[in-house]
Amino acid sequence: MDVQWLLIIHGLLTLLVVVSFLCGQWPIFEGTPIQRIHYFLTFGAYDYFLRFVGSVFGEKAINAILSVEYFCCDRPNPVLQIIYLAIIGITYYFIAKSSFSYIPGYYLSGFHRYTSLLGVGIGVFFFLLTSFTDPGTVKAENVSQYQSAYPYDNIIYTEKECSTCKIPKPARSKHCSICNCCVARFDHHCGWMNNCIGERNTRYFMAFLLWHLFLCLYGIVALGFVLAGRLKELRVVYILTVYYGIENSFRKLAPHVVQWLLGSYNTQILLMVFLAVVSLLLAGFFGYHANLCRTNTTTNETVKWQDHMNWQRKVNEARASAAALKASINGMSSERKPPDSKWKTFFRRSPLEDTGAVVKNNIYDRGILHNVWEVISPPSTRRSFLRTKSKSS
């Protein structure tokens, strides 16, 4: 098998594994091989590994692995932060080593040597800003201000006390078991940032995702122009048509050009595939969180609303079933009527269809402009929040 086909197969398998690992739990992949691969990668493989270690090395080895898992997954640690810095550093190194010798080139000026470094620097800046900014820790000193900023909806949020922090839990907050604190407008705990994403740093998290999406697209386009410039400078198309007699059409030339690129510039091709995969994942993740910002909802609230609506739907169905059973018993006790025709019985609506749709009543959704502004300018950074604090003290 040719090297280029091996590279293509490797790239497709890498794409499948990455998508399955990161996105396999999405509803769109339910019941598909991607969901099964995701389960194997996240649960099945680890379970088989623990069984193998236990059978070969004994229980002490399993306990050692579980202690490492506890450190990496259940406590704050910089492992994924180091991995992020390694990924972005190694990727930039390979791009610089393989392509900077062709810049300036036919299509790119030498200016891009510096803009690429600047782009990576800004990406790392947003990463550090998200990682080390307080996500909105709720303390005894500011809990009353957060309660004023986020009223209870008495649906998914009711007035209660955090059993760990021993302070009232403001609406939209959640106690993070990893960080061991309550976070206002809690979205999720991000292992890559080693920090919660909450009220005060959601804006930086969104900027991080958007900038890295643009950075990946910039890398793909720049590498594409590098390869296009090499094609032009080496007159590959001219050589193929004049010396090898290949017809000057896209359909005839494309396979030969691709073969030449894979043979001569496979590093750039692999980098473009890697950046394309990452950009697709970033685009999906940014789009998901942008929609949450548009509706003033968090990932935590999405789960809460889903559980609430499923419960409400089951309650409505139970009420409808009870009403239908009662009507059926009453009908049996009344005068016997002639049976309906088979066609009428077939097209009759089920009582469960009359339960009505369950409506999501999100009181925090006040229009797209207000919702986006709340992310850009969180309540705790405004003067009104500080005034409320001074009045309550």
- Number of residues in the chain: 393
216 tagged catalytic: no
Distance CA 279, CA 286 (A): 10
Name residue 8's amino acid. Answer: I
Q: Which of 72, 190, 196, 216 is an active site residue?
A: 190
Residue 280's closest CA among 23, 9, 37, 83?
A: 23
What CA dihedral angle connects 29, 30, 36 and 40, to 10 degrees? 90
Distance CA 254, CA 380 (A): 57
Q: What residues contact 250, with CB distance under 8 A and at least 6 apart?
A: none
- The angle at the Cα of 131, spanning 370 to 276, to the nearest 5 degrees, equals 85
Q: Name the residues annotated as catalytic.
A: 190
